Amino acid sequence: MNTMTKHRGALGAFLAACLAGTAACTGSFGSADTSVASAAPALGEVEVITPPARDPSDLQVLFWNNEQRAARFRAMEDWFAGIEVPAASQTRPLPEGESLPAPLAAEIRALMEESGAAGVMVLKDGKVRFEEYALGLGPRDRWTSFSVAKSFTSTLLGAAVKDGFIASLQDPVTQYVPGLEGSAYDDVTVWQLATMTSGVAWNEDYTDPDSDVARMNEFVLEYGPDAIVAQMKELPREAEPGTKFVYKTGETNLIGLLVENAVGLPLAEYAQEKIVEPAGFAGPMFWMTDPRGGNIGGCCLSLRLSDYARMGQFVLEDGVGVSGRKVVPEGWFAEATASQVEFGNGFGYGYQWWTYPEGDFGAQGIFGQSITIMPEERLVIAIVSNWPTATGEYRGKWFALATRIAATQ
């Protein structure tokens, strides 16, 4: 059984105290003074989840076998510490729409089986046109996001700009993460972090145990709460900032740290107000934490399939929540989901969103997680999966199928 301790403002107070270096930053979240977050909205209680003790070798997600992934992707809270945010107080309805044509639905089911997809949901104009589950997943179960979380962190970056916690994307990263001073991140802007064009070297090879992405846990074990800054600070610069795109999970972790430093709350708790509630999630969200007690910006939140679809619908509707209030600056999603970096043939990268031809865009995670958004067709496709490998041919196959779905009336 997991041990869960209920908190709300204590999470923000604890992190804010740590950031300020005050005496209140001791023990655990539960021992913190809650006065720092006393002005927070009256939202549901969040929970700090502590799983059973595990051998570090059991936590090497990139090297789990197929059977382990299929079981554990449904229950990451049994393996990793995190923060659980309750379902929204007002659920965004997803009414039933007209079913997709039978031949197209059969194509989806066939590709689900071929690729190891655990769930697919298709929304058209906010209505469910297809919903199917496999691998033991059900409508009320959660599944991990992997790097789909990056697009959530991007949205929280936008919310922090709107709320005035971050003055400008042209601010230097070291203004918000001073521990990086004297490193390759000197003179790198928040915009360059968001677009992964910092010019800092990084190896994202998921099959190489010595790659930077695979070594992140080593830094956690060695440096504890200082792991993110310790790893990123030792990286060399390979290009002038703003001139070269390199995909770096470590940099989205930095964005998460930057937002938490600016806001004074863990990402999950800030997301409760800025994503979970306005997007109207039907189930609770789990987001993994690191030894700081803050969340991992580049990875690993868990949601129901329907809530990944709700996130897509929320973004499609320009970040306007169920209450009608907008949580990001005017024009944020137009910028964030536009090709700030061009790869060619209509593909590119925005602010932690992948951009596709015809103005389409999406969030992607390894092992087949995705939210694909096609604004012109008012279409959202959410997929959770256990692909045989972290990356591969199925991304292209699913995108091709998405274009056929989009062509369906």
| The predicted structure's pLDDT at residue 56 | 85
Rounded CA separation 377/409 (Å): 9
Look at residue 38 and give its three-state secondary structure.
coil
Tokens of 104: 């197209």
Q: pLDDT by residue (tens digit) across 147-188?
A: 999 999 999 999 999 999 999 999 999 999 999 999 999 999
Confidence band for 8, pLDDT divided at 50, 70 and 90: very low
Confidence band for 217, pLDDT divided at 50, 70 and 90: confident
Position 29 pLDDT exceeds 80: no
Give 344-408 as a DSSP string.
Answer: ETTEEE-SS-EE-GGG-EEEEETTTEEEEEEGGGTEEEEEEE--SSSS-THHHHHHHHHHHHHT-
CB atoms within 10 A of CB 161: 20
The per-residue pLDDT of the chain, averaged, comes to 90
| The predicted structure's pLDDT at residue 86 | 98
Confidence band for 323, pLDDT divided at 50, 70 and 90: confident
Position 313 pLDDT exceeds 60: yes
Helices 249-263 + 216-223 axis angle, to 10: 40
Quote the pTM value. 0.89
Please report the sign of the dihedral spanned by the C-alpha atoms of residue 351, residue 357, residue 359, residue 361. Answer: negative
Confidence band for 42, pLDDT divided at 50, 70 and 90: low
Q: Which helix (H) or strand (E) holds 269?
A: helix 267-271
Domains and CATH numbers, the chain: 91-406 (3.40.710.10)
| The predicted structure's pLDDT at residue 30 | 31
Percent of the chain with pLDDT over 70: 90
Rounded CA separation 156/173 (Å): 16
Q: Which helix (H) or strand (E) holds 129?
A: strand 127-133
Q: pLDDT by residue (tens digit) across 91-123?
A: 999 999 999 999 999 999 999 999 999 999 999
Position 9 pLDDT exceeds 50: no
Alpha carbon distances (Å) from 28 to 17, 24, 90: 12, 10, 31
Mean pLDDT across 337-362: 97
| The predicted structure's pLDDT at residue 158 | 98
Q: Which of 187, 146, 191, 144 is nearest to 302 (CA)?
A: 144
CB atoms within 10 A of CB 358: 11
Position 280 pLDDT exceeds 90: yes
Q: Which amino acid is at 9?
A: G
Position 10 pLDDT exceeds 50: no
User: Could you say which DSSP state residue 208 is in?
Assistant: -
Rounded CA separation 202/192 (Å): 15
Rounded CA separation 372/21 (Å): 41
| The predicted structure's pLDDT at residue 105 | 98
Rounded CA separation 244/253 (Å): 19
Cβ 381 vs Cβ 399: under 8 Å: no
Percent of the chain with pLDDT over 90: 83
Position 27 pLDDT exceeds 60: no
Cβ 269 vs Cβ 45: under 8 Å: no
Cβ 144 vs Cβ 300: under 8 Å: yes
Mean pLDDT across 64-80: 96
Position 7 pLDDT exceeds 70: no
Mean pLDDT across 136-151: 98
Q: pLDDT by residue (tens digit) across 222-274?
A: 999 999 999 999 999 999 999 999 999 999 999 999 999 999 999 999 999 99
Position 220 pLDDT exceeds 80: yes
